[in-house]
Amino acid sequence: MNSQVEQALANLKSGKLEDVEQALETLQEVVYGFGMKVCGVREDAEDTAQETLIRLARQLKEFPDARALAVWLYKVAKTQCLMSRRKSKFAPAQILSLDALMPKESGAAAPAVKSWEITPEEIVLNKELRSKLEDAVLALPKPYRLVLILRDMEQLDTREVAEVMGISEETTKMRLHRARVFLRNALAGYVRRAEMPGARAHD
Amino acid sequence: MTDQHCKQIFAMLSEYLDGELPVKNCRELERHLKGCRPCIAYLESLKTTVEACRRYKAPRAPALSKQVKAALLAAVRKVISTDLSE
């Protein structure tokens, strides 16, 4: 659960002017960030944040807890993003096939594996990697992009993502895996993995 | 180790990373990994990709305009005061 959302709900319900202002700023940051990741266009992200906050202010009473608020918030923001006026330069709409994404060589390791030489702990998102990651996310078809952003960037759990998307948990997991593999293939050469002790990928 | 087995394992990697794979499949996957370096390598690269996503921070939001902020505060106050009077 997003701790920012939890704190924001407490602030909204305190009723104190400064707390409410703080909460609105926090939630604007959350929704704007989500909008940027999904749409990739600043104006769309601003519209998304503004529309979502206006609706939130009117429906504040309906949220018993932070989880309910987070699911509602992302659901509304997702709808706003899908209705965005400006078309992102990437707008593919195909289905990702796991067979097509799978490495062609024997074993799951795939051709690019030799270049993955950085451990997850060592990742520093430099400018080049940030940009490559943003492009790869925007190149994902939207149903996959939304699931990946909600699960891996916004860090909702599988059940919450399924609720936001209005799909089953099984479909959520399937889309997530395909999206991750797509991204992993797109980032090969930028993010590299540590050589496992004694391990050597098929050449 | 057969290609077919790698293919089955490949489909389970994300659930494994998320700790959502059923115990039976988890054991099967770990048994396979012990003998398949390419699959270990792929799992590591997928883990790195997920970590890159987790560390990604979107650009900061621009400040809300005074008008929007005032409208939002008014709406929130209205809801809160209705709440208190109920």
- Interface with chain A: mutation pick from B76, B80, B84, highest number of A CBs within 10 Å: B76
Quick check: B62 pLDDT over 80? Answer: yes
**DSSP string of chain A?**
--HHHHHHHHHHHH--HHHHHHHHHHHHHHHHHHHHHHH--HHHHHHHHHHHHHHHHHSGGG-SSHHHHHHHHHHHHHHHHHT-SSPPS----PPPPHHHHS-SSSSTT-GGGGG--S-GGG----HHHHHHHHHHHHHS-HHHHHHHIIIIIS---HHHHHHHHTS-HHHHHHHHHHHHHHHHHHHBTTB-PPPPTT-----
Confidence at residue A181, expressed as pLDDT on a 0 to 100 scale:
95
Q: A179 and A102 share a domain?
A: yes
Specify if A24 maps to a domain.
yes
Q: Which residue would you say has higher pLDDT here, A107 or B68?
A: B68
CATH number of the domain bearing residue A103: 1.10.10.10
Residues of B in contact with A130 (CB under 8 A): 56
Domain hosting A141: range is: 98-187
| Beta carbons of A29 and B1 less than 8 Å apart | no
Q: Which of B37, B49, B55 comes nearest A180 by C-beta?
A: B49
Both tokens of A188, joined, read 């090969």
Q: A75 and A108 share a domain?
A: no
pTM above 0.95, yes or no: no
Q: A26 and A57 share a domain?
A: yes
Q: A12 and A73 share a domain?
A: yes
Residue where a domain stops, chosen among A27, A48, A82: A82
Residues of B in contact with A58 (CB under 8 A): 75, 79
Count of structural domains within chain A:
2
Specify if A194 maps to a domain.
no
The domain locations on chain B are: 1-58
Confidence at residue A192, expressed as pLDDT on a 0 to 100 scale:
55
What is the pLDDT averaged over residues B50-61?
91
Distance (Å, whole) CA A6 – CA A25: 14
| Beta carbons of A196 and B41 less than 8 Å apart | yes
Specify if A201 maps to a domain.
no
Mean pLDDT by 10 residues, chain A (203 residues): 82 82 91 94 91 86 88 94 67 69 58 51 70 92 95 96 97 97 88 38 33
Residues of B in contact with A34 (CB under 8 A): 58
Q: A102 and A74 share a domain?
A: no
Distance (Å, whole) CA A148 – CA A37: 10
Both tokens of A148, joined, read 């990946």
Place B46 in a pLDDT band, splitting at 50, 70 and 90: very high
